[in-house]
């Protein structure tokens, strides 16, 4: 991560790091040793690498995924949340950048426990769990996704189908301009934040 970044390390990496520390005990090799073996003896294709690690070495699914990800250079050490966020608002979506920055600022002001952890296509916002996400859905619209279980959609609050499928994000509000970041957005965002306590 960049020094002084407003972003946080994705929580999934913390879980991964804790598990990877036990890898040698469970498999007789460290993550670095598995990556070296994979490069030296394993197949080149990622799917084939996963199959090979399971079939030839009896590695379980999560460990397989972490080894293959690191072998491809996509481990925690390569996580650059600033670059992920910047890429989302490049090119044809650059004009959405100020809207994103305002929404992000609004989210981070909800409390000291809010963490923004940009992925490739969205910026999820965590408290204990994801309570919101900011996504440049089209070249002209950002969707503010919210976890609002048990809330009926209405007005600008649109059902994502997430509640029926078990996804964290159950609703969204479409935002196409700065003036659409209004009291309704603030209200629903605060409700999602409070519910994630």
66, 56 Cβ separation under 8 angstroms: no
pTM for this model (two decimals)? 0.77
Report pLDDT for 74: 78
Report pLDDT for 20: 82
Report CA Rg, the chain. 20
Report pLDDT for 22: 85
Sorted by sequence, the CB contacts under 8 Å of residue 7 that are 6+ apart come out as 1, 81, 82, 85, 115, 116, 117, 118
Closest CA to 60 of 20, 2, 97, 95: 20
Report pLDDT for 11: 77
User: How many CB atoms neighbour CB 91 within 10 A?
Assistant: 7
Distance CA(66)–CA(73), nearest Å, equals 10
């Amino acid at each position: 991560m960049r020094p002084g970044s407003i972003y946080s390390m994705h929580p999934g990496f913390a879980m991964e790091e804790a598990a990877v520390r036990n890898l040698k005990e469970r498999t007789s090799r460290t993550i670095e040793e598995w990556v070296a073996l994979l490069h030296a003896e394993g197949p080149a294709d990622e799917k084939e690498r996963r199959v090979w690690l399971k079939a030839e070495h009896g590695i379980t699914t999560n460990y397989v995924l972490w080894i293959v990800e690191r072998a491809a250079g996509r481990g925690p050490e390569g996580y650059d949340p600033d670059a992920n966020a910047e890429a989302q608002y490049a090119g044809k979506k650059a004009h959405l950048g100020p809207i994103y920055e305002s929404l992000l600022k609004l989210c981070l002001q909800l409390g000291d426990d809010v963490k923004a952890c940009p992925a490739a296509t969205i910026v999820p916002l965590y408290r204990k769990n994801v309570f919101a996400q900011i996504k440049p859905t089209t070249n002209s619209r950002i969707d503010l996704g919210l976890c609002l279980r048990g809330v009926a959609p209405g007005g600008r609050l649109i059902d994502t189908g997430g509640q029926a499928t078990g996804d964290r994000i159950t609703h969204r509000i479409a935002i196409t301009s700065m003036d659409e970041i209004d009291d309704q957005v603030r209200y629903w965002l605060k409700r999602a934040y409070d519910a994630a306590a």
